[in-house]
Amino acid sequence: MYKIRSISCLIMLVLLIGACAPSAPAVTSTELNVYGFSEYIPEELIAGFEKETGVKINYETYATNEEMLAGLSNKPGRYDLILPSDYAVEQLINSNALLPLDLGKIPNYDKLDSAFLNPYFDPRGVGNRPGTKKEKFSLPYLWGTTGIMYDPTKVAKPITSWQDLWRPELAGHIVVLDDAREMMGVALLTLGYSKNETNPARLAEARDKLIELAPGIVAFDAESPEDYLLSGQAWVGVVYNGNAALAQRQNPDFVYVLPSEGAGIWFDNMAIPADAPHPDAAIAFMNYALEPQQAALIVQAYPYSTPNTAALEYLKENDPTTYEAYSSSLASNPPQDALLDAKLVKNLNPTAAQLYEEYWAAVKSSR
């Protein structure tokens, strides 16, 4: 069992990261329209914010960043707060689709590990990185890895790599994420290519590699893939680290693996669309969610990795069981050496991004 490590330096490398403010102002809006990943914001957090502020939260969900981006485009002026991942934040910033944040109205941002405040996809507003602009468009919510989970009572030979998914004995017992970027990335890595490849011929190779795997896939699920392992329908799955940690709460024998070719690594964030109808409520929710006790609720419900160091201190003092489970979990608290080879999903040119979606659709239709 290992204790929570200081991962600031490592995260700074991954993200290329080169005083207390006054209290947040009163909220005048009476509702907040949140658009986020499913199973990501605890009901207790929502209820607490509504009780404290009198603001009613309307929560709509999506499964992938691509679905979120499409939702923003199809329903302009609808959403106040979104939870985009790293590359989606960059895309939205480049499209002038996010509202700059006034950190003076979000005093609890100082509860975050400073390593997360100046990432490559939003290198603005915080820190002394050369060339940064004044605008800051996002604050971290959760981060994590994408790896493999398997049931060792059904899989005799340990799984160590993405390539192991193609082992014949696993066919018919695999669940994967319904996520074009992650799954095309898996295939690209097994072929020795970049996870963010743009060469059409190589992308076609990755598509064909996944089509080979498709007959053995029992489900495509980016929301609760762990359910298939817990029910026994699947023996192995491509999952996010939070799904893995939740599954291990019910079956501690499950094994989570950061594959040798490089696990996925991602950073999810809170941001406000430029056309948000209730930005004051969104700012208030950001500040509320960053309070140590509230951020601890997020970890208790959804044990991804947290950028909120104060939340971990709160758990250590007030919920040592959850703290110990978090600190000893490869899923929630991965070792530094495993993260050194972790692969980001990066923003691509529109042509390449469209190919990922088209080829992933072809994979799913081939099953």
pLDDT of residue 19: 35
What 3-state class would DSSP assign to 175? strand
Q: Whole-prediction pTM value?
A: 0.90
How do strand 343-344 and strand 174-176 relate by DSSP bridges?
unpaired
Cβ atoms 236, 173 nearer than 8 A: yes
3-state secondary structure of 24: coil
Per-domain boundaries in the chain: 8-143+267-336, 145-264+342-365
CA distances from 255 to 150, 190, 336, 356 (A): 5, 21, 18, 29
Residue 130 pLDDT exceeds 80: no
| Record: fold of 145-264+342-365 | D-Maltodextrin-Binding Protein; domain 2 (3.40.190)
The angle subtended at Cα 215 by Cα 212 and Cα 218, nearest 5°, is 130
CATH number of 8-143+267-336: 3.40.190.10
Rounded to whole angstroms, what are the CA distances from 169 to 26, 130, 239? 59, 52, 20
- pLDDT tens-digit profile of 287-298? 999 999 999 999
- Per the listing, tokens 């201190």 go with 313
Q: Taking the CB of residue 358, how many other CB atoms lie within 10 A of it? A: 12
| 145-264+342-365 has the same fold as 8-143+267-336 | yes
pLDDT reported for residue 123: 86
Q: Tens of pLDDT along 202-217?
A: 999 999 999 999 999 9
